[in-house]
Amino acid sequence: MFELLRPITEIAPPFNMIVLIVLIGSVAGVINTIAKQACKYGCHRQDLEFKRELIDRGLPTDEIERIIAAQSPVSGEKQNTVRC
């Protein structure tokens, strides 16, 4: 691990910290994006399983539509909030 950081630490002192900060910020951004996508995937799978369960119960189409419409987020909520 330290062998990978050796070229960065050999850069002149004020610039190596800048490179390290940018590197840490980039890694944090990638990890954050992966976590958000994993959460979206989980919510999508949960939603599909719920709809499949409603269909397996034999509910009429209009009842399923009513349940799904009641489950949708309120328009005043933020778009990026997770509803799972």
The identity of residue 52, as a single letter, is R
Kind and range of the H or E element at 76? none
CA distance 2 to 10: 12
Task: pLDDT band for 3, please (50, 70, 90 cuts).
Answer: confident
Please state the domain count of the chain: 1
Which tens digits make up the pLDDT trace of 39-68?
999 999 999 999 999 999 999 999 999 999
Which tens digits make up the pLDDT trace of 18-45?
999 999 999 999 999 999 999 999 999 9
CA distance 27 to 33: 10
- Residue 58 within any structural domain of the chain: yes
Kind and range of the H or E element at 13? helix 13-57
- Residue 56 within any structural domain of the chain: yes
Name the packing angle between helices 13-57 and 2-9 (round to 10°): 140
- Residue 26 within any structural domain of the chain: no
Judged by phi (left if over 0) then psi (alpha if -120 to 50, else beta), residue 56 lies in alpha
Domain that holds residue 66: 35-71
Give the residue, 84 or 7, on which the prediction is more confident: 7
- Residue 65 within any structural domain of the chain: yes
Average pLDDT over the chain, rounded to an integer: 87
- Residue 28 within any structural domain of the chain: no
